[in-house]
Amino acid sequence: MNFFEYRDGEMYADNVRVSEVAEQVGTPFYLYSTASLTYQFNQFKDAFGDLDLLICYAVKANTNQAVIKTLGDLGAGADVVSEGELRRALAAGIPAEKIVYSGVAKTESEMIFALENEIYQFNVESEPELYQLSEVASSLDKIADITFRVNPDVDAKTHAKISTGKSENKFGVPWTKVREICARAAELSGIKLVGLDLHIGSQITELDPFEEAFTRITGLIETLREDGHDITRLDLGGGLGIPYEGDDVPPLPREYAAMVKRVVSHLGCKIIIEPGRFLVGNAGILVSKVVYVKSGEKRKFLIIDAAMNDLVRPSMYDAYHRIDPVKESDEDSTLYDIVGPVCESGDTFATNRLVTPMKKDDLLAIRSVGAYGAVMASTYNTRKLIPEVLVKADEFAVVRPRPSYDDIIGLDQSAPWLSE
């Protein structure tokens, strides 16, 4: 479903005219649709019917607290990967008993914070982490509920930088070692082993890799139960892909849910799923303005006021994003390279892209940027982080304002040996 549609030739987000937000907020900015977030969450949840399920939104995809709260109000828990994310999820009102903590390098102080807040579970990724957590929990007189993250050695068939379930990746415990490590965990005083988890990658567009991994982990749970462990939870991670290009057809939630139920229901475990991109990816656009139209020797460039520091996915993952004008036109489309102002040739959003003719000050929308967009932004080239705006029905609110230059430059401090 597309929640950024044209009406009378103008792009709308829910019932808000995109160009009106641009007039009031200034460009560039991220714009998120509450209707889209809601639709995605409910579609995902409804697909599972009456399965005993906890949906933990992987907040790293979009950590804006207004976004977390929107999903939290619909019933989502949170999957966090740092103390900072845990603090954000709590601040956004996600109850601690719906928060799972993933990540390969949880530090002692992060563990203390999470234990003091009594989160639902730790997804432990290695043996050293297990011992560290047991020690920290014991010293606080607490017992940490844990799952082990299994590395199932499955090829998720996605971009190498976001594939996480192969044996050469840094994530999880090799599936062949899980039995041994669980036996050790059972002897530790600060630990209660409650289940297993996995996460094989992101933007996965086929069901087969999921099914292969879920089948493997299901078998492991059966083995662990035979070994006498009381396994009650199974966390299947995130990773379900979304359409970026017009003809992409990733699996639908109902197909994904039907497969999950077929593979894991007989275990009777509580199922946890950690979708990130699926919930927020298509709920966001980045609105930017044409600064110059430049005719190069071979190409025509649309130079826009957004750059790779605002949205890094095209330069980092060679990601494709649809780019549409905010005002529709019936002129014939023409080929452009759409680029930002940053001093790198990698600062390119699209090459040889067909768009209707654009001129200085025209607005365009880069689509499907709700996930891994604003969260990966930086101030490279001393550019201000761009605002985030949330719309709901016919209202909009700036949910992260544009900082001032003083906010950015003022973070630096001089060193005593440098004269004033």
Ligand X SMILES: *Cc1c(COP(=O)(O)O)cnc(C)c1O
Residues noted as catalytic: 343
Contacts with ligand X in 92-121 (CB under 6 A)? 102
Sign of the torsion formed by the C-alpha atoms of 65, 66, 69 and 71? negative
- Closer to ligand X by CB, 170 or 262: give it: 170
- Closer to ligand X by CB, 25 or 56: give it: 56
- Closer to ligand X by CB, 237 or 325: give it: 237
Could you give the string, one character per residue 206-245, with x where binding to ligand X holds by CB under 6 A and - elsewhere?
A: -------------------------------xxx------
247 C-beta neighbours (distance < 10 Å), count: 5
CB of 187 vs ligand X, minimal distance in Å: 26
CA 199 to CA 127: how far, in whole Å? 18
Q: Beta partners for 292? A: 303
C-alpha distances out from residue 312 to 305, 325, 363, 377, Å = 14, 20, 20, 7
Q: Shortest CA distance to 203 belongs to which of 159, 138, 167, 246?
A: 159
C-alpha distances out from residue 91 to 64, 78, 88, 205, Å = 11, 12, 5, 33
Helix (H) / strand (E) element for 68: namely helix 65-73
Q: Beta partners for 144? A: 191
- Closer to ligand X by CB, 63 or 102: give it: 102
Could you give the string, one character per residue 298-317, with x where binding to ligand X holds by CB under 6 A and - elsewhere?
A: --------------------
- Closer to ligand X by CB, 238 or 314: give it: 238
Which residues fall within 8 angstroms of residue 57, CB to CB, at 6 or more apart?
Answer: 68, 71, 72, 76, 77, 78, 79, 274, 275, 276, 279
Say if residues 61 and 275 touch (Cβ distance below 8 Å): no
Q: Beta partners for 418? A: none
Extended strands (E) in 224-266:
233-235
CB of 382 vs ligand X, minimal distance in Å: 29
DSSP of 158-227: S-GGGB--STTSS-SEEGGGHHHHHHHHTT-TTEEEEEEE---BSSB--SHHHHHHHHHHHHHHHHHHHT
CB of 321 vs ligand X, minimal distance in Å: 16
CA 241 to CA 158: how far, in whole Å? 9
- Closer to ligand X by CB, 79 or 310: give it: 79
CB of 262 vs ligand X, minimal distance in Å: 21
Helix (H) / strand (E) element for 253: namely helix 253-264
Contacts with ligand X in 36-65 (CB under 6 A)? 58, 60-61
DSSP tag of 283: G
Residue 79 near ligand X by CB under 6 A: yes
CB of 214 vs ligand X, minimal distance in Å: 14
Could you give the string, one character per residue 243-282, with x where binding to ligand X holds by CB under 6 A and - elsewhere?
A: -------------------------------xxxxx----
- Closer to ligand X by CB, 283 or 358: give it: 283
Say if residues 85 and 105 touch (Cβ distance below 8 Å): no
Contacts with ligand X in 152-211 (CB under 6 A)? 199, 202
- Closer to ligand X by CB, 13 or 124: give it: 124
Say if residues 117 and 137 touch (Cβ distance below 8 Å): no
Residue 388 near ligand X by CB under 6 A: no
CB of 362 vs ligand X, minimal distance in Å: 32
Residues that bind ligand X (rule: CB under 6 A) add up to a total of 17
DSSP of 90-149: HHTT--GGGEEE--TT--HHHHHHHHHTT-SEEEE-SHHHHHHHHHHHHHTT--EEEEEE
CB of 162 vs ligand X, minimal distance in Å: 7
CB of 256 vs ligand X, minimal distance in Å: 11
Give the residues lining the site for ligand X (CB under 6 A): 58, 60-61, 79, 81, 102, 199, 202, 237-239, 274-278, 371
